[in-house]
Chains A and B, each alone.
Chain A
Amino acid sequence: MDTKIKLEQVFREVFDDEEIELTDEMTADDIDAWDSLTHVQLIVAVEEAFKCKFSTVEVMKLKNVGEFIKLIDRKTGNA
């Protein structure tokens, strides 16, 4: 499955909002419920969905959804 579509499902589940549509430029500012708590929750959910692990630094450096997708692809060997 396309990483973006799968990630979108994780986002919808974590933020409890079926209307979320991901774009590469999207940041935490674009989703109301996306704060420091839900960010870690999101990371943990993504780790489970994609069966991979992220380090503190990798998570820290993410600037937008596009970078997140790239990171997931790199981790899962999709890139």
Chain B
Amino acid sequence: MLNFSIGSLFFAVLLFITPIIMRIGKKYRTGLFLIINIAVFLLCLKSLPALLIGALWILVPYFMAQLLQRASEDTAGALPRILRNSFYLLMVAVFAYLMHYEWVPLFKILPYSNAVKLLGLSYFLFREIDFTMQYGYLKETGIRITLVDYLNYILNFYTVMAGPILRYEEFVTDFYDETKPEMTGDTILHDFHRILFGYLKVYVISAVLSVWAGYWFQRFSTGAGFFSLFTEFILFAFFNSFYIYFNFSGYCDVVAGGAHLSGMTLRENFNQPYFAVSLVEFWNRHHITLSEWIRDYIYSPVIKVLISGAFRKKIFAGQCVALFITFLIAGIWHGTNFNYVVYGLLQGLGIVISTLRTSHMKKKLGKKGFKEFQAKKWVRVVENCATWAYISASFSFVGYDVCGIILKGFDV
């Protein structure tokens, strides 16, 4: 199995060769891109069984989308809906099994081998759900749907590791857009700058921040005394949240620059998240494509079910519950151990508190008054710092076993 991080030689070679191949063989670029994507997929497999699981995981949704569509056209009643829901439930169950969440007791009993884990498993899931959910709409609007395009969409090696999460419609429309301006020396230079800057963010800035975060985490995990523990934790959380930003946005810069050289435009995933003045705004600026995905495919269906049922008369409460569920799921998705459950709980709780506060303030000051209050400079600074502090504290559970240390502290 090959290492396929952006720092690997394999990725670096692809980064520079793909644009050349795609331009020289412009007529055959769809096929050429498919060959590259499949080669990456195969070379990154950990075992032969993983090939079978991977092939099923990728191909089944393509054919199921067609079947589900046919079922909803030909059959009346609740059957198509039941079929559809069962399919998504099965997808999520298989996904959870393949991810092997440590805190689910059932997964401790079931046989499992790390060798079946696929590169980019969760990002496959996001794209597959988008494709199957949108299939009817795509067909209706005459968007090009072929197995080759679907495979290029799912396996796109630029985005396979960690996004950004494109939508099928967006990917295909961009891939075949003939109105794009020709590459010039300036745009090529711009893309190279972006790649270089991305590598700088990941391998210089975030690498240093990671060492500092690790140092303060080490001191925090072995230290004693409330004041020193508190200070050590704050320093650790501060460096760690910046590490996450520089590492992830740097990665996005590298793949966005690389994809652009090959004639593809990836959607921007970051918009200066640390200037956000609320958690809601933070998620609209950080990992934007994931936020939009969870809004469309988790929040919207959940809140619709809630306010047409149990929360019919309590719409605001319904919104809070839906937000909590959405952010809890998004948090749990981030990783397999219990720290990510705590991370999800904190995100959910934070969003609910922030929504309650906004609603309370709007009632107290009126809509216009609240807007004026928020526009004040000192309010913005305070809200920005509070958002940042909360995000850093919750991000400390990402990548570090903070739960383990807290439990050890309580001697559990």
Contacts and interface: CB of A to CB of B under 8 A. Distances in A.
Contact of B137 (A37, A41, A61): A61
B315 interface: yes
Nearest to B292: A60
Given A32-B367, A36-B295, A44-B308, A56 B315 contact: no
A59 interface: yes
Nearest to B295: A36
B134 to A, nearest CB: 5
A65 interface: no
B369 interface: no
Contacts of B296: 56, 60
Contact of A40 (B134, B137, B307): B307
Given A56-B300, A56-B301, A60-B300, A41 B315 contact: yes
A1 interface: no
B300 A59 contact: yes
Given A56-B297, A60-B296, A44 B134 contact: no
B133 A37 contact: no
B307 A57 contact: no
Contacts of B316: 37
Interface residues of A, number: 15
A57 B133 contact: yes
Interface residues of B, number: 18
A43 interface: yes
B297 A37 contact: no
Contacts of A58: 137
B315 A57 contact: no
Interface in A25-45: 32, 36-37, 40-41, 43-44
Interface in B117-138: 133-134, 136-137
B319 interface: yes
B213 interface: no
A21 to B, nearest CB: 21
A69 B296 CA distance: 21
B300 A37 contact: no
A26 B300 CA distance: 22
B304 A44 contact: yes
Contacts of A60: 296, 300
A40 B137 CA distance: 20
B319 A37 contact: yes
Nearest to B306: A40
Nearest to B312: A44
Interface string B94-138: 000000000000000000000000000000000000000110110
23 contacts: A32-B367, A36-B299, A37-B303, A37-B316, A37-B319, A40-B303, A40-B307, A41-B315, A44-B304, A44-B307, A44-B308, A47-B308, A55-B133, A55-B136, A56-B133, A56-B296, A56-B297, A56-B300, A56-B304, A57-B133, A59-B300, A60-B296, A60-B300
A-B pairs with lowest CB-CB distance, top 10: A37-B319, A57-B137, A40-B303, A44-B308, A56-B300, A57-B134, A40-B304, A60-B296, A56-B301, A57-B133
Given A40-B303, A44-B304, A61-B137, 18 more contacts: A32-B367, A37-B303, A40-B304, A40-B307, A41-B315, A44-B308, A55-B133, A55-B136, A56-B296, A56-B301, A56-B304, A57-B134, A57-B136, A57-B137, A58-B137, A59-B300, A60-B296, A60-B300
